[in-house]
Chains A and B, each alone.
Chain A
Amino acid sequence: QQQVKQSPQSLIVQKGGISIINCAYENTAFDYFPWYQQFPGKGPALLIAIRPDVSEKKEGRFTISFNKSAKQFSLHIMDSQPGDSATYFCAASGFQKLVFGTGTRLLVSP
């Protein structure tokens, strides 16, 4: 099974708050777990990625937490800003391709 399940579908966070998006996967053969950010009218762009042998990766205000035993990973956006308003996709890499989650539309209110 190569599905990646993502939640929530949409999220509203106040400026300065923490945004949390969760994903779960089935196939243990995936070798990388990236997150992509997409602004309206644009293509997705890589935001941050993590290997399955690492439990956490932080880049600025963005952090991936990875739980290998539970087959779950999440994106945390600290001090969320209106400019972070976008659609976020989790993904799993393997078999020469990416499998994407269904996306989370994040709105950060001023």
Chain B
Amino acid sequence: NAGVTQTPKFRVLKTGQSMTLLCAQDMNHEYMYWYRQDPGMGLRLIHYSVGEGTTAKGEVPDGYNVSRLKKQNFLLGLESAAPSQTSVYFCASTTTRARYEQYFGPGTRLTVT
């Protein structure tokens, strides 16, 4: 089992460019999450999904969109990147039985110049 994987690992964007971050999990988990991690601010929830075809906003959703067309994949999109979106992005997944135990991917380090 690969667990939770994220693509790409690193990316540099210019302001205004767009990109999609891909998260994949092979644990048949129902719930998936996207977080951003910034120094001194912990992990902040961007968007999440409780099942295929469903998405919901988290704490900091502005400037991001998501889609969950397949149960195992959760995509995070930046339509017009801004320097404020420079961060490390983590994807996580979990089951309905133990929602406090989230499994995290290795992260994507994004720099917007």
A91 within 8 A of B: yes
Min CB–CB distance A62 → chain B (angstroms): 15
Which of B40, B43, B90, B101 is most buried by chain A, counting CB atoms within 10 A of its CB? B43
Min CB–CB distance B66 → chain A (angstroms): 14
In the complex, which of the residues B4, B44, B92, B101 contacts A49, with contact meaning CB atoms closer than 8 Å? B101
How many residues belonging to A are interface residues under a CB distance threshold of 8 Å?
24
Q: Are B107 and A9 in contact (CB under 8 A)?
A: no
B78 within 8 A of A: no
Count how many pairs of residues, one from A and one from B, have CB atoms less than 8 Å apart in the complex.
59
A56 and B72 alpha carbons, distance in the complex (Å) = 36
Q: Are B100 and A97 in contact (CB under 8 A)?
A: no
Query: Interface code A9-53, partner B: CB below 8 Å = 1, 0 otherwise?
Result: 100000000000000000000011110000001111110010000
Contacts of A33 in B (CB 8 A): 100
A7 within 8 A of B: no
Given A41-B107, A44-B43, A46-B101, 7 other A-B contacts at CB below 8 A? A31-B100, A33-B100, A42-B107, A43-B106, A44-B104, A49-B101, A96-B48
